[in-house]
Amino acid sequence: MKYMNKKIIISTMLVVAMFSISTGAIMAYNEPSGWAAPECNSEKPQKAWLYKVKSLGQGKYQLFWDKADRATSWTIGYGISPGKYIYGLNDFGNDQSRNLIVNTFSNKKFYFAVKANNGCTPGEWSNEWKVGSVGTVAATPAVKAVPAAVKKSVTAPVVTQAPSAKETVKKTAPVVTQAPVTQQKATPAVPAVPAKKGFFNWLMGLFQ
């Protein structure tokens, strides 16, 4: 009986020792000494600008963005809440890429953004576009102030009383138009012809 107890104790000790050795080996593998994260010395790229998101129907959208300085690739992010991009595509394209078609497989509301990458250094997220069941609109569009409605004062119409029948009849003297006078041509006077005198009368005129 004592022999059996000793055998059990020795076996238990061996099992514990083997477990300790294997655990130490795992710990040493997971935490290697002298390991450090790789450094990235690439300059941060310019912030991207997402200027259009076109709906292609059935949950597909085409994104368009402008060029960004020092961009070597791009990252697309989108989600169901503003600023929280739980879906997307990382490190695709090159410095000439300007658009991408994304299939969300849903007509729900989504918020899209894009950012440029310069090698191992990512840039900042661009402006955000909201798409989905309410249409496709920029999340931060420029809002123009709408002037308040101007109340128009209503002026009561002025009633002009029609003149009575008596007032409309004016007592005016009738206008007489004189007939034009026909001018007659003057007849020239004819000089009187002296009557012929007799010889006696002529003789008498000599002594007068």
Closest by Cα among 39, 122, 40 to 73: 122
Closest by Cα among 71, 115, 117 to 95: 71
Task: Tell me the C-alpha distance between 123 and 101, whole Å.
Answer: 21
Domain ranges of the chain: 50-138
> pLDDT class for 5, splitting at 50, 70, 90?
low
| Cβ–Cβ under 8 Å, residues 76 and 117 | no
Confidence (pLDDT) at 133: 75
Rounded to 5 degrees, what are φ and ψ at 75?
Answer: -130, 130
Confidence (pLDDT) at 118: 97
Confidence (pLDDT) at 32: 47
- CATH value of 50-138 in 1.10.3720.10, 2.60.40.10, 1.10.730.10, 2.160.20.10: 2.60.40.10
**SS3 category, 167:** helix
Task: Tell me the C-alpha distance between 109 and 38, whole Å.
Answer: 38
Closest by Cα among 109, 93, 94, 123 to 53: 109
> Could you report the per-residue pLDDT of 29-87, keeping only the tens digit for each?
344 445 555 789 999 999 999 999 999 999 999 999 999 999 999 999 999 999 999 99
> Could you report the per-residue pLDDT of 140-173, keeping only the tens digit for each?
543 444 444 544 554 555 445 555 544 544 444 4
- Mean pLDDT across 122-127: 97
Instruction: Provide Rg for the chain, Cα atoms.
Output: 61
